[in-house]
Amino acid sequence: MFAAPVILEEKADYMKHDRLFKKLIKEFFEEFIEGFFPDLHPYIDFSEVTFLEQEVYLDYIKGTKKEIDLLAEVKLNHEAKLLHIHTEAQSSHEADFPERMFLYFSYLYAKHRKPIQPIAVLSYNRQKEEPTQFRINTLHQNVLQFNFLQLHLKKKNWKEYIQSDNPAVAALLSQMGYKEHERVQVKLEFLRMISRMQIDPAKMEFFAV
């Protein structure tokens, strides 16, 4: 008799954390790209950004169901081409995360047939460098090398960002790397950053101290 695989849902805390990041990046999408991926920013026409319907990826091998965080469709500057930007937030280390990024990429490309720029946003504290690629090798050939951009917030020096007037940077300042004795200073610099910006009151939920 055929036994249907059991599909496990993501944990509530994990989903809550990643949904907050998704909401933040969606609200300040251009500012996020400009602040953390300045080399990518000039190529994108931010006057037309469409956030596509959230996708659900079913992994029948592992028996899991995961929501793909954010998929934006943008036009490229000076080109009649579309680009999909897939942004995935990760709040804890998982050894198979690069593979999962590749599986998401494959699923999205098979469905939409558009070029995709994948971005991983890591918010956990881990000293070891995290990979930014997934490879498949045989005995004599490198069959596949899949690369993605990565923002590891805890490895960012908060002092390098305090002169910024970018709201996405300000909202993520407290997620960057700092020592325990710097906690109060980080909060003070965050408040100074906010005071320089004219933030819509409706968006202040992203700027809790």
Q: What is the arithmetic mean of pLDDT over 95-115?
A: 97
Give the Cβ contact number of residue 161 at 10 Å. Answer: 18
Q: What is the arithmetic mean of pLDDT over 144-168?
A: 97
Greater model confidence, 11 or 58: 58
Residues 6+ away with beta carbon under 8 Å from 150: 119, 120, 121, 122, 130, 132
DSSP annotation of 177: B
pLDDT for 3 = 45
pLDDT tier, 116 (very low <50, low <70, confident <90, very high otherwise): very high
Nearest 5°: the CA angle 71, 74, 79 is 145
Helices 29-36 + 12-27 axis angle, to 10: 90
Longest CA span, the chain: 66
Greater model confidence, 202 or 22: 22
Residue 52: pLDDT over 60: yes
Q: Please tell me the chain's helix, strand, coil percentages from 3-state DSSP, rounded to the nearest 5.
A: 40, 25, 35
pTM of the model: 0.87
Greater model confidence, 92 or 202: 92
Greater model confidence, 173 or 11: 173
pLDDT for 199 = 81
